[in-house]
Amino acid sequence: MKLESLVIDGFKSFADKTTIEFKDGMTGVVGPNGSGKSNIIEAIRWVLGEQSAKNLRGSKMPDVIFAGSTNRVSINRAEVSITFDNSDFYIQDNPEKITVTRRLFRDGNSEFMINQRQCRLKDITNLFMDTGLGKESFSIISQGRVAEIFNSKPEDRRSIIEEVAGVLKYKQEKHVAVRQLEETKGHLDRVSDIIFELK
Ligand code: ATP
């Protein structure tokens, strides 16, 4: 699954509809201080279901709507759409392209859509569960957390990398399989003992 594009319209400093296409080879976004680089990341967080205004550097959710600037009046609606290329069907039972949209009006009303069909926030959360894009995943690491990760113990850092790489799920499955093998071995030993006694 690949991040294909992001459309930001009325979100934070993006007063005008802006489309960012994540083509092959794109590795970064550069720009002067305050030009909106972090707002792009926050738009991604928000459209994927972020519910905490604090995590988006605001005090209440409508703070994400373009609040006006010296030469532009404020607007009343923020909208972000994110499109993933799912042609490898990484998210099973879903189409080759998945577009998730979130809209918020200044009066507090909000709308969520998956492929242009209205849905609940929960449907979006469920869609990305176990994909590495979930709420607590490390696919997006905020500036503050970088130092925290650098300063963490090597074992903790390793588990963060494993979670990002999707290894943790397999490690847990391996742990369950090894336990079942041990249980089975115990049962086989008991069967051997019984056979020995019956002989
Ligand atoms: P730095 O390199 O300093 O980290 P940056 O490129 O990441 O900066 P951002 O933090 O994404 O920049 O953008 C900050 C800008 O976004 C500020 O100019 C701020 O006024 C503007 N901004 C944030 N929220 C809103 C809003 N709701 N309406 C209008 N502008 C906003």
Say if CB 67 and CB 77 are below 8 A apart: no
Pocket of ligand 1 (CB under 6 A): 12-13, 31, 33-39, 63, 65-67
Distance 33 CA to ligand 1 centre (A): 8
* Residue 183 CA to its chain's centroid (Å): 37
- The continuous run of DSSP H or E covering 198 comes out as helix 167-198
Q: pLDDT for 98-118, tens place per residue? A: 999 999 999 999 999 999 999
Domain extent, residue 67, equals 2-131
pLDDT band at 137 (very low <50, low <70, confident <90, very high): low
Distance 91 CA to ligand 1 centre (A): 33
163 in any annotated domain: no
Q: pLDDT for 15-56, tens place per residue? A: 999 999 999 999 999 999 999 999 999 999 999 999 999 989
72 in any annotated domain: yes
104 vs 51: CA distance, rounded Å: 12
22 in any annotated domain: yes
CATH number of the domain where residue 56 is located: 3.40.50.300
Predicted model pTM: 0.80
Say if CB 130 and CB 105 are below 8 A apart: no
* CA nearest ligand 1 atom 15, residue: 34
151 in any annotated domain: no
